[in-house]
Amino acid sequence: MLRGGIIGAGFFAANHLNGWRMVDGAEIAALCDTDTGRLSTMGDQFGITRRYTDAAQMLAEEELDFVDIITTAPSHRPLVELAASSGKHIICQKPFAENLTDARAMVAAAQTAGKTLMVHENFRWQSPVRTAINEIRAGMIGTPFFCRASFRSGYDVFSGQPYLAEGERFIIEDLGIHVLDIVRAVMGDVATVAAHTNRINPKIRGEDVATILLSHDSGMSSVVDCSYATQRSPETFPQTLLEVDGDRGSLYLKAGYRLEIHTNGEVETRDVSPELLSWAERPWHNIQESVLSIQQHFCDCLRDGRQPETSGTDNLKTLTLVEAAYLSASEARTVETNHL
């Protein structure tokens, strides 16, 4: 049984703690948060008695195999470096880092320590998205030549995560990062990025609308469009909708978790709704189920001695797309990813 310690007991941590209870092969032994109120609330809720306000002390005193970092981005680099130098495997929430320099240093720290580093980049692990990815990888629509990945919503994310309204950056860094990662999983690596952003909601600092054109190493193209300023009914939060054209068919992940595969003039339609886990609640159940899936993937990889699909090294490419999109939007030009 792998023993883990959690750092960060805020808004999203309960999903991790619930997920860990269901993971085969791991348990959470200790919890850390600098905020004593949050530490005791979460510790009581999940019956974790080993509690710390200092991550270094937790790592020194506990016999842990891995740490699960669920803090916001500014603390990720020091915590990843601390965990690596303490000889622990690491899962770190997205956004992995505030910039590529930090992210590269974090990957290097884990490599030097010989430890596994996985980014909790969970949208490609949502079961509806995963089904779509698997069908495409299995060749159901042939070779994909176009992908549109769309996340448009008017859901109030700011009440649960007030920091999202305060940052200079918002939708690309927080949400677009997931959608860009899905497109990488479907279409492969990206050569150039052209992005346009707007802020529609006057009460926030960052951009809440982004439209991004990607050209892939394969020569094919994708469009990622994200908005938190879209009023629609029914509300689709937190669904990513997909439209993928291949040379032998097309695939659609439509609102309401409806998967359609169009081949040879026929349409196969499937309900790919995520499971409503006992601790989950709509509409978050899609994301909550993916937390469990990515945690299980991490444990399976440690057991089998292989790299997670969303390893730190892999995530550098997703983070590069985020940086490229902001640079493109601010300078109104197309950005080549290999220049970042």
Residue with smallest beta-carbon separation from ligand NAD: 10
Stretch of residues binding ligand NAD (CB under 6 A), selected from 33-41, 195-203, 244-252, 261-269: 33-41
Measuring CA to CA, which residue among 130, 62, 176, 78 is closest to residue 297?
130
Residue among 32, 107, 133, 241 that touches ligand NAD (CB under 6 A)? 32
Please, which of residues 11-30 interact with ligand NAD by CB under 6 A? 11-13
Question: In one letter, which amino acid is 163?
Answer: Y
Stretch of residues binding ligand NAD (CB under 6 A), selected from 4-12, 20-28, 111-119, 136-144: 4-12
Helices (H), the chain: 13-22, 36-46, 55-61, 76-85, 100-113, 127-137, 163-166, 171, 177-187, 285-304, 312-331
- The verdict on 71 binding ligand NAD (CB under 6 A) reads yes
x/- letters, 165..184, toward ligand NAD (CB under 6 A):
---------x----------
Please, which of residues 284-303 interact with ligand NAD by CB under 6 A? 287
- Shortest Å, Cβ 55 to ligand NAD: 5
- The verdict on 275 binding ligand NAD (CB under 6 A) reads no
Question: In one letter, which amino acid is 107?
Answer: V
Residue closer to ligand NAD (CB basis): 12 or 252: 12
- Shortest Å, Cβ 79 to ligand NAD: 6
C-alpha 197/C-alpha 176 separation (Å) is 11
Q: Which helix (H) or strand (E) holds 150?
A: strand 144-152
Measuring CA to CA, which residue among 115, 53, 130, 64 is closest to residue 308?
115
C-alpha 121/C-alpha 312 separation (Å) is 10
Q: What angle do CA 191, 189, 12 make, to 5 degrees?
A: 120
CA dihedral sign, ordered 200, 201, 206, 207: negative
- The verdict on 7 binding ligand NAD (CB under 6 A) reads yes
- The verdict on 75 binding ligand NAD (CB under 6 A) reads yes
Residue among 6, 29, 73, 259 that touches ligand NAD (CB under 6 A)? 73
Q: Which residues pair with 251 in a beta bridge?
A: 244, 261
- Shortest Å, Cβ 267 to ligand NAD: 31
Measuring CA to CA, which residue among 5, 54, 55, 1 is closest to residue 31?
5
Counting residues that bind ligand NAD (by CB under 6 A) gives: 27
For ligand NAD, the binding residues (CB under 6 A) are: 7-13, 32-35, 38, 55, 70-73, 75, 79, 93-94, 120, 122, 161, 163, 174, 287
